[in-house]
Structure 1
Amino acid sequence: MGLPQDTATPPAHRKTQPTTMTTTTSTSRRRSHRVMCLSILLSMLVVIAAEMPAKLQQNPCESKINCHECIQTQSCAWCMKDDYGDRPRCFQHSSPQICPEEFVWNPDTSETILINKNLTLAKSAEAWAAGQFVSGGSYQRSYHQQSSASSSSSAAYGAQYGGAAAASAAAAAGEIVQIKPQRVNLKLRINQIHNLHVSYSQAEDYPVDLYYLMDLSKSMEDDKEKLSALGDKLSETMKRITSNFRLGFGSFVDKVLMPYVSTIPKKLEHPCDNCKAPYGYRNHMPLSNNTDIFSNEVKEAAVSGNLDAPEGGFDAIMQAIACRQQVGWREQARRLLVFSTDAGFHYAGDGKLGGVIAPNDGECHLNSQGMYTHSIIQDYPSISQINQKVKQNAINIIFAVTQSQHSIYQKLSSHIEGSSSAILSNDSSNVVDLVLQEYRKISSSVEMKDNATDEVKITYFSSCLTGGAEIKTSKCGGLKVGDKVSFTAQIQVTKCPLNPRDWKQVIQIYPVGINESMVIDLEMLCSCPCEHPGSTGYEEHSTKCSNHGTYMCGICECDDQHFGNTCECSNSDGHLSKDKPSSCRADNTTLHDCNGLGTCLCGKCLCNKRDNPEEIISGKFCECENFSCERNKNDLCSNHGDCVCGRCICHSGWEGSSCNCLSSKDTCYPPNGGPICSDHGVCECGVCKCNSTDEGRYSGRYCEKCPTCSGRCHELKDCVQCQMYHTGVLKNENDCATNCTTFTPVGVEKVKIDEELDEQLCVFFDEDDCKFTFKYAEVGGILKVHAQEQTECPPKIFMLGIVLGVIAAIVLVGLAILMLWKLLTTIHDRREFARFEKERMNAKWDTGENPIYKQATSTFKNPMYAGK
């Protein structure tokens, strides 16, 4: 018996108030100045970008070597001119024209509407009265009456994509049309976006096919009785929506195998009380406009039973959709499949429990009695198989399930296109309201879908019924009969498929749940006509290719034995083939032929030509060029040399890596004579580069100065000290007079240096730590010395007084501490003595008043006394 299954699946800114108009005006002026500066800067950047040479800008076209690669690159065009030189044939079409227009192949996107019938906005009784459908549920296809070309194309597409093309063909034959246009031819280049406009309108009184698929396990017995009683009400309710309504009925239990049902012979006949034999799926009543027999079919359908909780509902859904003729689905109608159950479902893989391993083939397997014959032969279908069948046949599934199963079926509906779920009461008493509510929900919205491949990207935009700006969406709601909704489908081919047969595709754009579609015959512009035999510009064994190749689109495609721009090179001539051009490389370590600056032809390098005729690439392996040498102030070799193989060869009188240095050294000699750079530096580019030594660093134009060097200071020190201050090692008058005869210092109050006279400053300290300063200079070969008149001595310090003062301070501090300690201890002792006296006075006994007190008796005995 089928049982219900519970499936768990900023810092604060200080505000300042302007105090005067001057402050506000100044602030505004500063802001205006900043804005003006930014505007000028942006303008300069725009001008620089506009004037940037085209060769410095990225050009994705130049690297393409054949026509189909060229047009597969966005904004690129191909030049098919015969004599075109070595210039790239693939170029940006927006750039200045470099190829005559008659030789340019630059295909544009084109759109041609093939079928564009007007939308059926009013009731089309004539179409429905044409007798397409016969009573009893069978139907006829009327769309075969169209033209032979359209018929063959639609038939081919229908074989591949189900009945969508058939619906479009039916619309083209003058029947109900809800999507416009119906067929479009589109030629599209790679990475170009094309906007295709699609319109949809729900036709009035549109046909509806409703097939009620019910779980007839034992637990659904009361639901079956209620559905039988409400059958007429369901028919009447749907006929109020559309007069062209058909109703059908089917049921399911599960596979007649263990462990799904009991295989005991007795249980196979009567699995439960008042139950019939179990079965997989049965089509009781095909879709028919004779809805009066629906209640009787439901009433006569017998319930059955099974063992496990899940049921075989997926088997039933697959057969109800796949068996289009047996069930009676019409080509042009809104198709509803109401799936009613109180249990879960088996899906692909569960069949292995019963030994069924063959996968579900998605085909119809019903016998003449409407019974599913392959229930025990093949497995349950998967969710993706159900979804694929639903999309191919444009069917809306309504899962009418009990409260306990609603959550799992709600998740299932999100994986099946156009499906929804609703809660069914325990006895199905609300089935009429449920179907009506879900139908209104489905019919009041439209969602656009497509079956584009991975190479094609389609994005939908619409304003729905608002009439405002379009937004990115593929779904519109709140629609009523007659409302017209327009969508813009942005179609973009992202890449060309590897197989050229896939360059032509048929794409279907369709509203979900409606068996109508717009068919797009898409041709991807992935190749050039001149690359195909029989077209202009295509020649096999062409003389332009030395009779050794095919001339196509202005270039040669050589055979296996020849190579070169015109197939002029042959492998049999002793030249290296195009696959082994090592003779165009300097050594085995080089990765590129001709150093990447030329083309290897017949084993020899043909160097590239530069746009500037003065720039030349040369050499056996194109290893030399005359434009990449070192520059100085943007001048190649400083305009004082020639660039040869990337190195500057300087003209006479110049040297250096960029020829920016004069070779003459005359400018490095001092004007008054002397060695070059005063022997304290080297002459580079006519300028002295001074040395740095342990004594100091030399400076000056001719390295004649050394501010940090000691010079003759130590030599003059002793004489200045004895003559000026009568101190030092020569303080004896005889010693001083004997050794100091070359100069006599001149006393000055303060010594100051005059750099123009090249004076040197000397500072020393004597034995008493007194500083004395003097300067010297040689003027006309005479040594002149100026010394400070008074030495700068540190003040004298009376050390004995300081020592005695420190000792006295220590003694005084010690005495003060002793006196303080004595004072504190005296106070403490007196307090303790006073407390002792007080306690002693309180401890005296009054012996006269104490009755217990008895005077002590003393006895004395003289041991020498014998009592005599």
Structure 2
Amino acid sequence: MVDKSTVLVFLLVLCGGESELDTKITSSEKATEWGDTDLPRTGSCQPAPSCQKCILSHPSCAWCKQLNFTASGEAEARRCARREELLARGCPEQELEEPRGHQEVLQDKPLSQGDRGEGATQLAPQRIRVTLRPGEPQKFRVRFLRAAGYPVDLYYLMDLSYSMKDDLERVRQLGHALLVRLQEVTHSVRIGFGSFVDKTVLPFVSTVPSKLHHPCPSRLERCQPPFSFHHVLSLTGDAQAFEREVGRQNVSGNLDSPEGGFDAILQAALCQDYPSVGQIAQALTAANIQPIFAVTSPTLPVYQELSQLIPKSAVGELSEDSGNVVQLIMDAYDSLSSTVTLEHSSLPPGANISFESHCRGSEKREGEAGDRGQCSNIRVNQTVDFWVTLQVTQCLPEPHLLRLWALGFSEELTVELHTLCDCNCSDTQPHAPHCSDGQGDLQCGICSCAPGRLGQLCECSEAELSSPDLESGCRAPNGTGPLCSGKGRCQCGRCSCNGQSSGRLCECDDASCERHEGILCGGFGHCQCGVCHCHTNRTGRACECSENVDGCVSPEGGFCSGHGHCRCNRCQCQDGYYGALCDQCLGCKSPCEQYRDCAECAAFGTGPLAANCSVACADVNVTLALVPNLDDGWCKERTLDSQLFFFLVENVAGGVTLRVRPHEKGADHTRAIILGCIGGIVAVGLGLVLAYRLSVEIYDRREYSRFEKEKQQLSWKQDSNPLYKSAITTTINPRFQGTNAPGPSL
């Protein structure tokens, strides 16, 4: 008997009726070449010689295009800095060049609800333009609505090896039942049919001619030669055509292996053979096909692991006679259509993408970023959101079209991806008067000198560089030391400083200021000649202190609870005090301990301060209060005569007020309660002992009475011993001379 391991593959497409499954992909998209220049990435904005290089160096960089913005000796590269620093140095807001990425929705048809079928809109928006500045991410939202009645194309791919002989008749009756069940969820259904046996080449099957010609066990059976894949019926809504074509099929030999099924899947999608699992997954994704593997129990674990490698695939256990095929397909259809997986096409070099799925009550993946978006258990007419983040690290030479789509659905979102890699300076002037009367072009506030001209304003020629008079302007008054302090170069009699140096002779280092938490001037000011110039409301050598004092104000008023002073919006506590507001101290008494004696002497005239209560407690105001409920803020104390009382310490302007609540007087039953408890315990113990002795006495009397009764019932002769037993052994002494004398008995 042949060991049967059945594999059926149903290829499911939610295609909107726009394309047939048996349409093959015969061409690929043309590859696009991209630039390969990586942009420098540093931890913060650094000076740059031009506006273009400035905005590409770091996403936090801005450029000041104001004329004459840089000071004497300062390099034009100092125009590139963080926005806050440029504003603090006097650059007007309107002279800042700080291009930012942006996005624009080009097409956004509203999502459809209800049973719209083929005309439903499930993915929005449909087209969007995103402009990215390198290093700066852009985030946009994609919405998906699971519509009811979406069209379905089902291609039934069947194994026709000999082990499927008893299943073939069942499949012949499948067409009508399957269409009826699918029409319950959608009005547009098409079904197709294909078959496979095995790849008829070594090493997958035996190539003996007689075996290939008639591979079935019996010569009397109708049996066709093995084949890799046959396309039998294109997608159609005619159930009778499905039953008719399936009825014409015959089984082949039982020579199948997993390679035969994989080959058939790939041929159904691309007319290509010899596939790997990776090729199958890629081809099914590109063709928008969702495979459903129906397998019997022996091969179920293998295909469950395979399904994890193929996106949007399902696996079901097939009964021995394929009787549960319709229900298996319906269950898999519901599982696949209720799972939304957002995929994307290939990205250009230097670009990356991430997704955050917001599933709204279904199986959530809130805030979880990854290379795809996914939500499961989506109900009909339920909307889910995917937040897509795009970022590039280099400029693209031309726009790139990026496609996003939900696996298994034909709709897609097209993203026009542009990069922002240059400044949009409106002050560009060729031969500008500002550049030494036309000796250069003005762009973004700096001069680009004509050939042979040098200087920030193109004020001198190359022939003048060797003039001693010009070099004297770049040296110290005594004529000693290197040109421009060795931190710049001499141009046209003036120093052009390098990097963070400034001053007429580049004598200042604008990177040597104090740092706070590793940041120059704490990030709250700019460094000029070794000194931090802080922003408004900031102070300190590194601008580390805020002039705000809100963090030092105590709840009752005043600063730092009166036990410290405010510095950098933080309390600096006196010795012995600690806490954010210096409201705690080491070795200090608690309020209850501190005011206990005053409360007792003022309210009851007792305690250690009773003799001079008015003097010792002059700053304390004591009032008696009857409060029905006491909270945790009340202090519980006891007087000298063991009376309980409660008091509350209230700090008010001008002193301390104590609200004293005497304990309600009444009989003190503490001693009686204690004695009563002890007496009760003793009484219970004595009772238990007496009960035990009484039970023992009763038991003994009963036993004695029974003994007496049994004694009276016994009767025997007074001369016989009731314990006597007759002898059981007799011994004869052979030496005994008597003729009839018996021997001793035992």
Structure-2 separation of matches of 1:398 and 1:321: 14
Question: Are 1:521 and 2:416 matched, yes or no?
Answer: yes
Larger radius of gyration: 1
CA contact (8 A) 1:459 1:491 kept: yes
User: Which residue does the alignment assign to 1:64?
Assistant: 48
SS of equivalent to 2:184: helix
CA contact (8 A) 1:193 1:490 kept: no
Amino acid at match of 2:242: F
User: Which residue does the alignment assign to 2:391?
Assistant: 493
User: Which residue does the alignment assign to 2:735?
Assistant: none
CA 1:67–1:609 in structure 2 vs 1: closer, same or farther (change >3 Å)? Answer: closer
CA contact (8 A) 2:363 2:375 kept: no
Structure-2 separation of matches of 1:262 and 1:468: 51
Question: Are 1:444 and 2:334 matched, yes or no?
Answer: no
CA 1:59–1:263 in structure 2 vs 1: closer, same or farther (change >3 Å)? Answer: closer
1:661-698 Cα offsets, whole Å, 9 max, x none, are: xxxxxxxxxxxxxxxxxxxxxxxxxxxxxxxxxxxxxx
CA 1:198–1:606 in structure 2 vs 1: closer, same or farther (change >3 Å)? Answer: closer
5 Å matches for 1:271-290? 271-273=215-217, 274-290=222-238
5 Å matches for 1:120-139? 120-124=112-116, 128=118
How far is the alpha carbon of 1:405 from its aligned partner?
1.9
CA contact (8 A) 2:357 2:374 kept: no
SS of equivalent to 1:311: helix
User: Which residue does the alignment assign to 1:741?
Assistant: none
Report the TM-score when normalising by structure 1. 0.46
Q: Of 430, 438, 442, which residue of structure 1 is paired with 2:324?
A: 430
CA contact (8 A) 2:47 2:81 kept: no
Question: Are 1:476 and 2:466 matched, yes or no?
Answer: no
CA 1:79–1:306 in structure 2 vs 1: closer, same or farther (change >3 Å)? Answer: farther
CA contact (8 A) 1:464 1:476 kept: no
Structure-1 separation of matches of 2:225 and 2:432: 78
How far is the alpha carbon of 1:436 from its aligned partner?
0.7
User: Which residue does the alignment assign to 1:553?
Assistant: 444
User: Which residue does the alignment assign to 1:242?
Assistant: 186
CA 1:482–1:463 in structure 2 vs 1: closer, same or farther (change >3 Å)? Answer: closer
1:164-217 Cα offsets, whole Å, 9 max, x none, are: xxxxxxxxxxx3201122111222333444442222212221111111112222
5 Å matches for 1:347-386? 364=271, 380-386=274-280
User: Which residue does the alignment assign to 1:370?
Assistant: none
User: Which residue does the alignment assign to 1:456?
Assistant: 352
Structure-2 separation of matches of 1:508 and 1:414: 24
User: Which residue does the alignment assign to 1:220?
Assistant: 164
Structure-2 separation of matches of 1:476 and 1:387: 20
Name the % identity: 35
CA contact (8 A) 2:487 2:498 kept: yes
How far is the alpha carbon of 1:112 from its aligned partner?
1.9
Moved more, 242-251 or 381-390: 381-390
SS of equivalent to 1:214: strand
User: Which residue does the alignment assign to 2:259?
Assistant: 311
How far is the alpha carbon of 1:82 from its aligned partner?
4.4
CA 1:566–1:256 in structure 2 vs 1: closer, same or farther (change >3 Å)? Answer: farther
1:371-402 Cα offsets, whole Å, 9 max, x none, are: xxx75xxxx12322222222222221112222
User: Which residue does the alignment assign to 2:242?
Assistant: 294
CA contact (8 A) 1:556 1:566 kept: yes
How far is the alpha carbon of 1:434 from its aligned partner?
0.9
Structure-2 separation of matches of 1:456 and 1:546: 48
1:235-269 Cα offsets, whole Å, 9 max, x none, are: 22112121211101111223332232333333333
How far is the alpha carbon of 1:299 from its aligned partner?
2.5
5 Å matches for 1:161-172? none
1:608-657 Cα offsets, whole Å, 9 max, x none, are: 6999xxx9574xxx6899999xxxxxxxxxxxxxxxxx9xxxxxxxxxxx
Structure-1 separation of matches of 2:354 and 2:334: 28
Structure-1 separation of matches of 2:2 and 2:495: 84
Structure-1 separation of matches of 2:156 and 2:449: 68
How far is the alpha carbon of 1:286 from its aligned partner?
0.7
CA contact (8 A) 1:183 1:518 kept: yes
CA 1:91–1:295 in structure 2 vs 1: closer, same or farther (change >3 Å)? Answer: same
5 Å matches for 1:325-724? 364=271, 380-451=274-345, 453=347, 455-465=351-361, 471-472=367-368, 474-485=373-384, 487-497=385-395, 499-501=396-398, 504-530=399-425, 537=428, 539=430, 544=435, 552-555=443-446, 565=456, 597-599=487-489, 601=491, 606-607=496-497, 618=505
User: Which residue does the alignment assign to 1:107?
Assistant: 99
Structure-2 separation of matches of 1:316 and 1:287: 17
Structure-1 separation of matches of 2:286 and 2:223: 37
Structure-2 separation of matches of 1:113 and 1:4: 56
Which structure has more RCO (C-alpha within 8 Å, separation ≥ 6)? Answer: 2
CA contact (8 A) 2:342 2:405 kept: yes
Amino acid at match of 1:382: S
Question: Are 1:185 and 2:169 matched, yes or no?
Answer: no
Structure-2 separation of matches of 1:447 and 1:508: 14
Amino acid at match of 1:90: C
Question: Are 1:269 and 2:213 matched, yes or no?
Answer: yes
How far is the alpha carbon of 1:93 from its aligned partner?
1.9
1:525-548 Cα offsets, whole Å, 9 max, x none, are: 233345xxxx86275999949989
CA contact (8 A) 1:545 1:558 kept: no
SS of equivalent to 1:280: coil
CA contact (8 A) 2:341 2:406 kept: yes
Amino acid at match of 1:483: Q
CA contact (8 A) 1:418 1:513 kept: yes
How far is the alpha carbon of 1:468 from its aligned partner?
11
Q: Of 68, 78, 81, which residue of structure 2 is paired with 1:91?
A: 81
Write 1 or 2 for the structure with the bigger share of helix.
1
1:272-311 Cα offsets, whole Å, 9 max, x none, are: 3432122221111111111222122222222223757333
Q: Which runs of 5+ in 1 are unaligned?
A: 8-57, 129-174, 323-363, 365-373, 576-583, 585-591, 629-645, 647-868
User: Which residue does the alignment assign to 1:757?
Assistant: none
